[in-house]
C-alpha cells in the first residue's frame, strides 16, 4: 500500500514539475515577445522623430519660398506700375 502512495506522489510531483517547466517556457516566450515589441516601438519612435524634424525643415523651406514669391510679386508689380507710369508720361 505504501508503494502505491509513494508512486502516486511521485507521479503528482512529476506532473507538477512538467506544469512548472511549461509555465517557465511560456514566461520566457512572453519576455522575448516583449523585448521584440520594445525594439519595434523604439524603431518607430526613432522614425517618428526623424519625420518630425524633416517636417519642421520642410515648413521652414516653404516659408522661405513663400517670402521669396511675395517679394518677386511685389517687385514685378512695382516694375509694371513704373512701366505704365513711364508710358503714360
Query: Residue 14: what pLDDT?
Result: 95
pLDDT, one tens digit per residue, over 19-64 is: 999 999 999 999 999 999 999 999 999 999 999 999 999 999 999 9
CA distances from 3 to 9, 13, 17 (A): 10, 15, 21
Q: Residue length, the chain?
A: 89
The gap from C-alpha 47 to its chain's centroid, in whole angstroms, comes to 5
Confidence of residue 16 (pLDDT cuts 50, 70, 90): very high
Give the position of cell 514685378: 76
Amino acid at each position: 500500500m505504501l508503494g502505491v502512495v509513494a508512486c502516486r506522489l511521485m507521479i503528482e510531483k512529476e506532473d507538477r514539475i512538467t506544469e512548472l517547466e511549461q509555465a517557465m517556457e511560456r514566461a520566457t516566450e512572453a519576455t522575448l515577445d516583449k523585448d521584440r515589441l520594445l525594439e519595434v516601438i523604439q524603431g518607430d519612435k526613432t522614425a517618428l522623430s526623424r519625420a518630425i524634424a524633416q517636417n519642421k525643415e520642410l515648413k521652414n523651406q516653404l516659408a522661405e519660398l513663400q517670402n521669396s514669391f511675395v517679394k518677386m510679386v511685389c517687385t514685378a508689380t512695382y516694375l509694371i506700375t513704373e512701366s505704365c507710369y513711364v508710358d503714360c508720361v
